[in-house]
A = this chain, B = another copy of it.
Amino acid sequence: MKKSLGPKTIIYPMPVLVIGTYDINNKPNLMTVAWGGICCSDPPCVSISVRKGRQTYDNIINRKAFTVNILSEDMVKKADYYGIVSGRKEDKFSRTNITPIKSELVSAPYGKEFPFVLECRLYKTIELGTHTQFIGEILDVKAEESILDKSGNPDIEKLKPFFYDPSSVYYFGTGKMLAKAFSAGKEI
């Protein structure tokens, strides 16, 4: 029996995306968003939703670029911090001992110590209501060699990404491998 919960913004899983940007004075900033994901294969694109009024909103509008950093579960407190504090008040890179590296491809920084990053140039800006969706064209993906497998592909067991549960308001880690995609369904 289904129960109506009303028009809530709940979905599983929600990613924990740490967005890197520069302000007009070249101060690097980080902000965590849970609303976003890959949205096109050609051009390769990722979308993120940001409210007007955020430092990150202004920075993306001005620089037309951002990075999307994925953190490992041992960095969960940092990711949470980036979502709580405004870049107008604090230098979030230095406060968390993360080194800002300027992307060679776009006008945005990423974290040297972060294991996985997408470098994006602004492709489309879509006004939705309270939130603006920024769609970035992915110009490159960079990953720490320590999280790659022998074939040079990201290894989830090494990366140890985590996600956000909007109902309990907790972060959860990666669980057990369940089934091979584009394969398990053939048994139906």
Binding site for B on A (CB under 8 A): 1-15, 17, 34-47, 49, 68, 70, 73, 76-85, 95-96, 116-118, 123-124, 126, 128-131, 133, 135, 137-145, 148, 152-156, 159, 161-188
Contact = CB atoms under 8 A, between A and B. Distances in A.
A69 B164 CA distance: 18
A188 B156 contact: no
A13 to B, nearest CB: 5
The quantity of this chain's copies bound in the complex is 2
Contacts of A133: 39-40, 47
Contacts of A123: 128
Given A8-B138, A37-B15, A185-B80, A154 B169 contact: no
Which 9 residue pairs across A and B have the least CB separation, nearest first? A81-B185, A80-B185, A173-B175, A12-B161, A175-B175, A40-B128, A81-B188, A40-B131, A2-B142
A176 B179 contact: no
B187 A77 contact: yes
A116 B165 CA distance: 14
Nearest to A11: B38
B177 A164 contact: no
A49 B118 CA distance: 19
A163 B16 CA distance: 14
A181 B66 CA distance: 23
A37 to B, nearest CB: 5
Given A4-B140, A6-B141, A185-B81, A12 B176 contact: no
A115 B84 CA distance: 32
A85 B167 CA distance: 32
Nearest to A2: B142
